[in-house]
Structure 1
Amino acid sequence: MPSPSCPPSSRRSHRCPSSLVRAVTAASLGYTAFVERNRPRYLLYTAARLPTAADSATLVAAALAAARNRWDFILSQPSPAAEVWGDLRRRVVDRAARTVSSASEVGALYELFDEGLADSVVLCRRLGFGIDEAAELMGAEPAAVTAHLAVAERALPRLSPGRPPTR
């Protein structure tokens, strides 16, 4: 059966133009590679922010399913990683508002700092990601992550490099 994205004339002949098949295959492979690279890191991030692994897995699955449905649009954006990260973060913020106490260490970070800065701290200081990896995951520039960490370390000296992250 031809793909629903094939033009109607191609559907009658049960053949899609090879360029369309290549484009669909390339997009599918790109999405698959994106998921394989980022899903484990998304799970670590959401697990650090949410009380249960089930919450974490559910939100990551929902964000990645939404990304699949919008993949062509996401690829047209200046930073596809930032687009997916923004959706994941919105889902986490919504769930955390209902389930996480601001008395928790991570919850307190999000009360004290804006989301980008707090995300940088969680990824780099709590989860141990390098600056480049955290920036890639969030779709941010490494310089922005470095600046976020510098601001956080001035406000909370216990976050300084060389100190083990608190768990």
Structure 2
Amino acid sequence: MAAADLGFSAFTERNQPRYTRYVTARLPVDTHVSAAVRSTLAHAHRHWDWLLSRPSLAADVWEELRYQVSRQADMGPPRDTGIVTLYSRLPESSADSVLLCRRLGLGIDEAAELMGLEPPAVEAGLSTARRALPYLDTGRRP
């Protein structure tokens, strides 16, 4: 197996479960969560060599995951209206920070790594959410 294939396999093994949790929270009931994750990972696999040359492979794949979610987001009743509110009232990166850190329980460092950001960017997203939606419990997690 080529080194690139091993790298992609490791990337998939590490991120697929977290991508699935994120997509499950974002997509309506009765949508094909696994299809969005599979499409994202297939895109990453097809473009793996190019992605390796990019400044942040994780950020580029995260953008593809967001795109896949956006394609299915209006296909049925929301799973959680609170999450719909987050994405309608906040910038996407702030909403993602709240979803990952507060709803899915990821630490700031893990959320940042998953989205291809630096931890201060996730902290800034949480601060933005706190200002825009003060009723949210977006305090810092350890």
TM-score scaled by length of structure 1: 0.77
Q: Alignment identity in percent?
A: 50
**Unmatched 5+ stretches in structure 1:** 1-23
Question: Equivalent residue of 1:159, what SS?
Answer: coil
Question: Equivalent residue of 2:54, what SS?
Answer: coil
Higher relative contact order (CA 8 A, sep 6+): 2
- Indicate which of 40, 57, 73 corresponds to 2:50: 73
Question: Is residue 31 of structure 2 the alignment partner of residue 87 of structure 1?
Answer: no
Distance in 1 separating the partners of 2:29 and 2:56: 30
Which amino acid is the alignment partner of residue 161 of structure 1? Answer: G
Instruction: Check the 8 A contact 1:100/1:107 in 2, yes or no.
Output: no
Q: How far apart are residue 53 of structure 1 and its match?
A: 6.9
Q: How far apart are residue 83 of structure 1 and its match?
A: 0.7
Distance in 2 separating the partners of 1:114 and 1:91: 18
Q: Report runs of 4+ in structure 1 exceeding 4 Å deviation.
A: none
Which amino acid is the alignment partner of residue 10 of structure 2? Answer: A
Q: Which moved more, 1:53-62 or 1:41-50?
A: 53-62
Q: Name the counterpart of 1:37.
A: 14
Question: Equivalent residue of 1:97, what SS?
Answer: coil
TM-score scaled by length of structure 2: 0.90
Question: Equivalent residue of 2:74, what SS?
Answer: helix
Instruction: Check the 8 A contact 1:152/1:159 in 2, yes or no.
Output: no
- Indicate which of 24, 41, 45 corresponds to 1:64: 41
Which amino acid is the alignment partner of residue 91 of structure 1? Answer: Q
Q: What is the root-mean-square deviation of aligned Cα atoms in Å?
A: 2.1
Q: How far apart are residue 93 of structure 1 and its match?
A: 1.3
Q: Name the counterpart of 1:18.
A: none
Instruction: Check the 8 A contact 1:123/1:129 in 2, yes or no.
Output: yes
Distance in 1 separating the partners of 2:65 and 2:51: 13
